[in-house]
Amino acid sequence: MTTIAKINLGENGPLVSKLGLGCMRMSPVWGGPANDENESIATIRQALDNGINFLNTGDFYGSGHNELLVGKAIKGRRDDAFISVKFGAIFYGNQWLGVDLRPNAIKNFINYSLVRLGIDTIDLYQPCRLDGSVPVEDVIGTVADLIKEGKVRYLGVSEINEKQLRLANSIHPVTALEIGYSLADRQIESDLLPAAKELGIGVVAFANTAEGLLTGEMKAPLAASAYQNHFSRFQGENLIKNLEKVEVLKQMATEKGCTPTQLAIAWVNAQGGHIMPLVSMSRRSRLPENMEAMTIEFTADEINKLNTHFSPGSILGSTYLQR
């Protein structure tokens, strides 16, 4: 199996795998059934065996289910894993109610996370987003206090804009920015990505296949139960035209002897040594193909073709990833 390279997460951050494992889909986040727990745990452990040490979870994934799952998987292997936890989202009855970023709430959240994970310190702790309900100084300042107390090692931020990133970093050094990024979602290239690079902040890039659009397997119309139906990108003529754009990716994948999904991950990986593709997996069978994607290289002509074909704004309609 492919050996996963290690990178520093940010200019002065810890050494982590260049490929991250997203654990969210192992839990029933939006009310769907949970995946087979034994298979999920086996997937995490096999990822660790193969050098993928960056594990991404959230205290609200399955109302704590995901943290409990990760905790079981890393039991006896704490030193093998780098644990990234998002906090702040509030759900009730599988419905999003908003975020709670009050300092007292954050202090409460982390105690539950530490117990569920079965660890003493969270490696990377980050608000799931900053919505203006609590001053950024209070949110980041609270995590900085947790770092001083030894409950957290590094500060992360997620789904924020350039102004918020600079402000957060001025309060306490930000180690990593978690953000959606793919060939179909490149709006962060104009401001947020350059700011992260300038400030020496690592980028953890999720949604590499743009919610399934770039897998080459999506067909119009989607099933009525598909969550993507909530977003205009996946509706009506938008979806038809967007899937036509994906044909170029499918053709290149065929020529290079890989899948469109692997190409989508490889493109994100190729955007810089400070950028980590964060890929959701819940089955061991997915590990080899996603690890292999990290070895795919592009010629200058291939990169130019993809960048031109999927230029910012070329995909019609919006998703929650667009700010």
Give the model confidence (pLDDT) of 278-289 as tens digits.
999 999 999 999
Q: Is the pLDDT of residue 290 over 60?
A: yes
Environment class of 79 (CB within 10 Å of its CB; exposed 0-12, middle 13-18, buried 19+): exposed
In the chain, pLDDT over 70 holds for what percent of residues?
A: 98
Average pLDDT for 44-65:
96
Return the pLDDT at 45: 98
Grade residue 71 by pLDDT with cuts at 50, 70 and 90: very high
Is this prediction's pTM over 0.85? yes
CA distances from 90 to 23, 55, 124, 204 (A): 19, 22, 20, 23
Average pLDDT for 144-166:
97
Return the pLDDT at 323: 53
Residue 261 or residue 3, greater confidence: 261
Q: Please list the active-site residues.
A: 61
Return the pLDDT at 322: 67
Return the pLDDT at 320: 76
86-139 pLDDT, tens digit each: 999 999 887 889 999 999 999 999 999 999 999 999 999 999 999 999 999 999
Angle at 86 between CA 85 and CA 90, to 5 degrees: 135
Return the pLDDT at 31: 64
- What count of other Cβ atoms lies within 10 Å of the Cβ of residue 16? 25
155/177 Cα distance (integer angstroms): 9
Which CATH number does the domain 6-211+259-297 belong to among 3.30.300.130, 3.30.70.1060, 3.20.20.100, 1.10.3080.10? 3.20.20.100
Average pLDDT for 10-35:
88
Return the pLDDT at 214: 97
193/226 Cα distance (integer angstroms): 30
Domain ranges of the chain: 6-211+259-297
From 311, 306, 293, 297, select the one nearest 189 (Cα to Cα): 311
Q: Is the pLDDT of residue 9 over 80?
A: yes
Average pLDDT for 203-216:
96
24/5 Cα distance (integer angstroms): 23
**DSSP count for the chain of H helices, then E strands:** 10, 12
- Three-state SS across 226-247? CHHHHCHHHCHHHHHHHHHHHH
Q: Is the pLDDT of residue 178 over 70?
A: yes
Grade residue 230 by pLDDT with cuts at 50, 70 and 90: confident
Torsion over CA: 229, 232, 238, 244 (sign): negative
Give the CB-side neighbour count of residue 277, counting CA atoms within 13 A. 29
